Copies of this chain bind each other. A is one copy, B any other.
Amino acid sequence: MVRKKVKLAFIENDSSRRVTYRKRVKNLVKKTRELSVLCGVDACAIIYGQEEQAPVVWPSSEEEVKRIISDYYSKSEIDPSQRGFNQYTFLNDSVIKAKERLLKLQRKNREKQISNMVSDILNVKSSLDQVNPSDLGDLLWVIEDKIRTIQYRIRGRYGELADMRNNGSLIA
């Protein structure tokens, strides 16, 4: 996009791809944070880098997470009648069709798997809405520890853990 307008396609060259990745991730996170602060909304960026790379997650610092969670909590205190509203299922033709489809999925024993995945993608906000303020400390601690654990696991401990990777039963 500069000394030569680059076309939007996978960068084959490993070296320049990695450089571009670092530059752009940095700015994407910055932009995410700016949007959040300027407009008073909660925004989340998740980037899964190549193999052997820790995922980048924003917000990730204790301070930021705390701010977002307490913002959510104070909102729901101000207007508790709003809480859980997103969970209500509006009934119309497309939802009726959805239900038929889900019934079929249930028969195939996949419904739970799929709804969990949809939740992962769409429901971060509603899960944050449901946190009790007395849980904030524990929540932050668990999140931070999970991030550290993932980073530690991904960075250079493969040797020690190699035997475990061959055991499919570890999936859970």
Chain B residues with Cβ below 8 Å from A80 are 168
Q: Are B31 and A17 in contact (CB under 8 A)?
A: no
Min CB gap A4→B, angstroms: 14
Q: Are B43 and A48 in contact (CB under 8 A)?
A: yes
Complexed CA–CA distance, A34 and B97 (Å): 35
Copies of this chain, whole number:
2
- Mask of A19-60 contacts with B, CB within 8 angstroms, 1/0: 011001101100110110111111111111111000101000
Q: A145 near B: Cβ within 8 Å?
A: yes
Number of interface residues of A (CB under 8 A): 95
Q: Are A152 and B90 in contact (CB under 8 A)?
A: yes
Q: A121 near B: Cβ within 8 Å?
A: yes
Q: Are B43 and A45 in contact (CB under 8 A)?
A: yes
Beyond A28-B35, A50-B41, is A153–B120 a contact (Cβ under 8 Å)?
A: no
Complexed CA–CA distance, A164 and B114 (Å): 27
Min CB gap A5→B, angstroms: 13
Most chain B beta-carbon neighbours within 10 Å: one of A40, A41, A49, A114: A41
Q: Are B20 and A168 in contact (CB under 8 A)?
A: no
Mark A residues whose CB is within 8 Å of B: 6, 8-11, 17, 20-21, 24-25, 27-28, 31-32, 34-35, 37-51, 55, 57, 80-90, 92, 94-95, 97-98, 101-102, 104-105, 110, 113-125, 127-128, 130-132, 135, 138-139, 141-143, 145-150, 152-153, 157, 161, 164-166, 168, 170-172
